[in-house]
Amino acid sequence: MKDFSLLEKRLGVTFKNQDLLKTAMTHRSYINENPKSPLPHNERLEFLGDAVLELVVTKYLYNNYSEPEGELTNWRAALVNANMLARVAKELDIEDFLLLSKGEAKDKDSKARLYILANAFEAVVGAIYLDREFEISEEFIEKVLLWRLKEIIEKKLYLDPKSRFQEAAQEFAATTPSYKVLEEKGPDHAKWFRIGVFLGEELVAEGEGSSKQEAQVQAAERALEEKRW
């Protein structure tokens, strides 16, 4: 059995009702495999935590920045998207405490795992809110998440990778990147694309995906890494 007091230490929050924390770690697949589990899955806590998270982040942005609504909305989206929340969840070792089905437990590197981690983080926020009320949940979010906003703004991480690479290419190379399909295969219902991003004639990076957009985004991400922009 997992020792959830270790997770409490990682979170920096001691629960009055530890069952709330256990529920936050319980994925639907675990309940499907263990129908006699005394605790439910975490989706209701995730629903609550998502709302608490959005309120705390919105309040922080409103109180600390005077930018227009559209800019603040972009910053908030970058701070609470699945990639960011999954990253925070990993840093807090939440993954080690997830209760998953045997199949889900093995599938560590999939997109599904990323969303499971992000959802678990939201469920933790919901659990803290129910157990310790708003002020403690706000302190927790400030401690583990809000400090990352500075990097998001400085590095323009609130822009999608294609927009970021285009801005950087225009600034540092005085050119606009172009994307070309290098390879396409598969039937219409299961296409696969390999796309290159170019600066003039220079192939900077390649990306793959089940759509042109997905492959272009991956190519732009790799191009930013390649150019160190």
Question: 205 with 223: CB under 8 angstroms?
Answer: yes
Annotated active-site positions, please?
50, 122
For tokens 């982040």, what's the residue?
57
What stretches of the chain show up as alpha helix (H) in DSSP? 4-11, 18-24, 28-33, 43-64, 69-80, 82-91, 102-106, 111-144, 149-154, 161-172, 212-227
Is residue 181 within a helix (H) or strand (E), and if so which, with residue range?
A: strand 178-185
Residues contacting residue 143 through CB under 8 Å, at least 6 positions apart: 12
Local structure of residue 207 (DSSP, 8 states): E
